[in-house]
Structure 1
Amino acid sequence: MTNLPFSPLDRPIWHSLTGRQGALAIGDARALRFRPDVNLFGEAACDSSEALAALAALVPDGGTLGLIGVGPAVLPPGTAIVSERQLDQMVATRLHRAARDVDIVRLGDDDAPEMLALATLTAPGPFFAATHLQGGYIGVRRAGRLVAMAGERMKVPGFSEVSAVCTHPDFRGQGFARALMEAVIAPLIAGGEGVFLHSYADNPAVALYRALGFETRRELTYTVIKRA
């Protein structure tokens, strides 16, 4: 995981916002972030004073901005660190299928309130009112109730991120997470893409990720900042 050649995966935020997810971006060529109702991630084009000042302007008053990259973040002027942790970036280019059959439904705008409620309860990672616009969200319903979901988050050249995999506590242990991840991943790989995700090393779900075919690519730093 050391001395890796450069990859867009080293800067997933920037390459998502300047590529396939540009419609969800705000900012300019110096710095970009996702719309605040989509997620909290942003990045400067480089570490120049001009670019960092532009990134600082994208940090909301009373809110936060998330940075993901190789090594410690270079702080924009007038900001402070809220939290900083190491993430394992895991990638898969083939899928090991083993899930049982589960009735899966496509999720969209009409499901957004339920999706937000489920993510708020289970805390799979940053999730906001319009996070589902990043694409590919599917779920499992029981008696009409959304009890599990998964979807896509960032999209860099050649790779899409699997994210927001979560199950209501009352419905865990039934294989929903694996079934949903397989259903998200399979068409991406069939279409010639790799998939990636970010996880803390102590996340119990890492065993599932490895069973699906993910391998750790490298360690990245996840930093959340606010206005000082």
Structure 2
Amino acid sequence: MTHPLDRPVWSALGSGWAEIAEGDARALRIAPDIGVFGAARDQSPESLDALAALVPDQGELWLVERDPVPTPPGTRVVKEGLAVQMVLDQLTPALRKPPPITALGEADAAEMFALATLTEPGPYARQTHRLGGFVGVREGGRLVAMAGERMRMPGYIEVSAVCTHPDWRGRGLARHLTREVAGAILARGSVPFLHCYASHTATIALYAAMGFRIRTEIRAIILSRV
């Protein structure tokens, strides 16, 4: 039986993301103003055709899959990268006192989008903040770092959008915010997970020091129309 984390986007679209999913039983995608992720039910021609129809005329659709996926008809692979999927059973003790951390929401949306656009922690749309669970650090009233939750499914919640303004890097803010988000997920009885490109060895080591372990390798595939 396939583990839900082997196809995290499909698992999320059928559960925690169901209210913001578009498509039908053959293929689904998250609402474009919230994100860029999609998945097909399986690799049948019918499902791949339905997935192709969800790729925007101008833009991209991202797949996150453990196993290879045939390129849907009428689309092309813009980029494909190998990532690791990490899960957390228990946080290691914090070595430093965290800075003041604040919850982020609708009132912070413009600042959150600007920070994500500047730092590029991964795909982040104007309404991604609606996925919830975001926290941040402010300096002089300015948002300088944040992290949040993205994919949700029974028993698992993804840590994502971890980013720090270049002027405030090197202070451990990303580490503190990741711990804050992951700890809140654990407190709710779910398992935190995250994705990191396999080539980012220093980042993987940082997460491992917090208690995350590599579960599997996984592919990130970016599609566009031909």
State the TM bucket, normalised to the shorter chain.
Answer: over 0.9
Q: Per-residue deviation at 1:85? A: 0.9
Work out the CA distance in 2 between the residues paired with 1:187 and 1:122.
24
Alignment correspondent of 2:214? 216
Alignment correspondent of 1:155? 152
Q: How does 1:67-106 map to 2 (within 5 A)?
A: 67-98=63-94, 99-106=96-103
Work out the CA distance in 2 between the residues paired with 1:97 and 1:152.
22
Opposite residue 104 of structure 1, the aligned amino acid is I
- Secondary structure of the residue aligned to 1:205 is helix
Work out the CA distance in 2 between the residues paired with 1:93 and 1:102.
24
Work out the CA distance in 2 between the residues paired with 1:121 and 1:24.
26
Opposite residue 126 of structure 2, the aligned amino acid is A
Question: How high is the TM-score relative to the length of structure 2?
Answer: 0.96
Q: Deviations over 1:50-103 (max 9, x none)?
A: 111111110000211001112222111111110011110111111113142211
Q: How does 1:3-152 map to 2 (within 5 A)?
A: 6-98=2-94, 99-152=96-149
Opposite residue 227 of structure 1, the aligned amino acid is R
Kept in 2: contact 1:81–1:224 (CA 8 A): yes
Alignment correspondent of 2:171? 174
Structure 2 spans left out of the alignment, 5+ residues: none
Work out the CA distance in 1 between the residues paired with 2:100 and 2:184.
17
Q: How many residues align?
A: 224
- Secondary structure of the residue aligned to 2:113 is helix
Work out the CA distance in 1 between the residues paired with 2:207 and 2:66.
22
4+ residue runs of structure 1 moved beyond 6 angstroms? Answer: none
- Secondary structure of the residue aligned to 2:15 is coil
Alignment identity in percent?
A: 51
Work out the CA distance in 1 between the residues paired with 2:35 and 2:97.
32
Work out the CA distance in 2 between the residues paired with 1:100 and 1:165.
19
Work out the CA distance in 2 between the residues paired with 1:97 and 1:126.
30
- Secondary structure of the residue aligned to 1:165 is strand
Kept in 2: contact 1:14–1:45 (CA 8 A): yes
Question: How high is the TM-score relative to the length of structure 1?
Answer: 0.95
Opposite residue 61 of structure 1, the aligned amino acid is D
Q: Per-residue deviation at 1:191? A: 2.0
